[in-house]
C-alpha cells in the first residue's frame, strides 16, 4: 500500500470513529504505522496491526490525551513499548517536547529506529523511567507530565512513582474498566496517601461495551 493510500485510510477510519486528527498529521501517522508494522514482524511491539485498530486504539488514546496537555509541555512516555502514545502525541502536537523511556533494550532500539525512519527528533531513553525522572527533578529538563498506557496496574505504578512525586508535575494514565478496583487496591495498600487520583476523561473502547478513562495523578497540596 502506498503512503498516501494508507494516510487516506487512517484519516477515513478516524473520521468514522469520531477521532479528531489534523490533516497534516496523517502522512506521518501513516509512516509511523508502516514502520511499526514492519518492525513488528521481527519483534513483538504491538497487537494493533490493521488500520482500524491502529486508529481506534492507538490514535484514539493519544487523541484523548491531547486536550489535556498545555503548549510546549515536556512529556515523558513511560514504558513506551512500540511508541504509543508518545510518538503519536509528538505527531499530533509538534509543539510538545516528547521523550520516550523503555527499559527493554530490544524495544528501545527498535523504536529509536522507527523514530529515525519517520523523521522525528524524539529522545529515546533505554532505562527505567523512574530513574530518569528522579535524575531530572529540577532544572529545565524536569518533566511536566508522565504519560502511561498499558504498563502496569495502578498499585504498581504508584509504588514506582509516588515516592518521587516531587520530581515531576503529574501523571496522565490511560486505563480500562477496572480502574476503580485498582484505585481501591492502591488505597488499601497505602499507596495513594500523598497523591490525588481523579478521572478527567472517558471514551468508548470500540467494539465493546466498555470505556477507557484518563486518570490524572498529582501530589496533594500541602500547607
What domains can be seen in the chain, in order of their start residue? 56-219 (3.40.50.150)
Alpha carbons 139 and 86: distance in angstroms, whole number: 22
pLDDT in tens, 163-190: 999 999 999 999 999 999 999 999 999 9
pLDDT in tens, 107-131: 999 999 999 999 999 999 999 999 9
Most distant pair of Cα atoms in the chain: their distance: 59
Through-space distance between the first and last CA atoms of the chain, rounded to whole angstroms? 59
Q: Which residues on neighbouring strands pair with residue 203, listed in sequence order?
A: 212
> What is the arithmetic mean of pLDDT over 18-39?
96
pLDDT in tens, 77-106: 999 999 999 999 999 999 999 999 999 999
CA-based nearest residue to 166, from 213, 212, 111, 221: 221
**119, HSE (Cβ side, Cα atoms, 13 Å):** 7
CA-based nearest residue to 102, from 137, 41, 151, 56: 151
Point out the least confidently predicted range of 3-7, 60-64, 183-187. 3-7
Alpha carbons 2 and 140: distance in angstroms, whole number: 41
Task: Report whether pLDDT(223) > 60.
Answer: no
Collect all residues with Cβ–Cβ distance below 8 Å to 133 and sequence separation of at least 6. Answer: 76, 143, 146, 161, 164, 167, 168
Mean pLDDT of all residues belonging to the chain: 94
Amino acid at each position: 500500500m502506498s503512503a498516501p493510500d494508507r494516510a487516506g485510510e487512517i484519516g477515513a477510519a478516524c473520521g468514522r470513529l469520531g477521532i479528531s486528527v489534523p490533516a497534516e498529521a496523517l502522512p506521518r501517522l501513516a509512516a509511523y504505522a508502516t514502520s511499526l508494522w514492519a518492525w513488528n514482524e521481527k519483534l513483538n511491539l504491538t497487537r494493533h496491526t490493521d488500520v482500524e485498530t491502529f486508529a481506534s486504539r492507538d490514535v484514539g488514546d493519544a487523541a484523548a490525551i491531547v486536550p489535556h496537555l498545555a503548549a510546549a509541555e515536556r512529556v515523558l512516555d513511560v514504558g513506551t513499548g512500540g511508541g504509543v502514545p508518545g510518538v503519536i502525541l509528538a505527531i499530533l502536537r509538534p509543539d510538545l517536547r516528547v521523550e520516550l523511556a523503555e527499559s527493554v533494550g530490544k524495544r528501545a532500539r527498535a523504536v529509536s529506529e522507527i523514530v529515525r525512519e519517520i523523521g522525528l527528533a524524539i529522545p529515546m531513553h533505554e532505562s527505567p523511567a523512574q530513574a530518569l525522572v528522579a535524575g531530572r527533578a529540577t532544572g529545565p529538563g524536569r518533566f511536566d507530565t508522565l504519560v502511561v498506557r498499558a504498563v502496569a496496574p495502578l498499585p504498581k505504578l504508584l509504588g514506582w512513582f509516588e515516592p518521587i512525586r516531587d520530581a515531576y508535575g503529574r501523571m496522565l494514565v490511560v486505563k480500562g474498566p477496572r480502574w476503580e478496583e485498582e484505585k481501591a487496591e492502591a488505597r488499601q495498600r497505602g499507596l495513594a496517601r500523598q497523591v490525588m487520583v481523579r478521572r478527567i476523561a472517558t471514551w468508548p473502547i470500540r467494539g465493546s461495551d466498555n470505556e477507557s478513562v484518563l486518570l490524572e495523578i498529582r501530589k496533594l497540596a500541602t500547607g
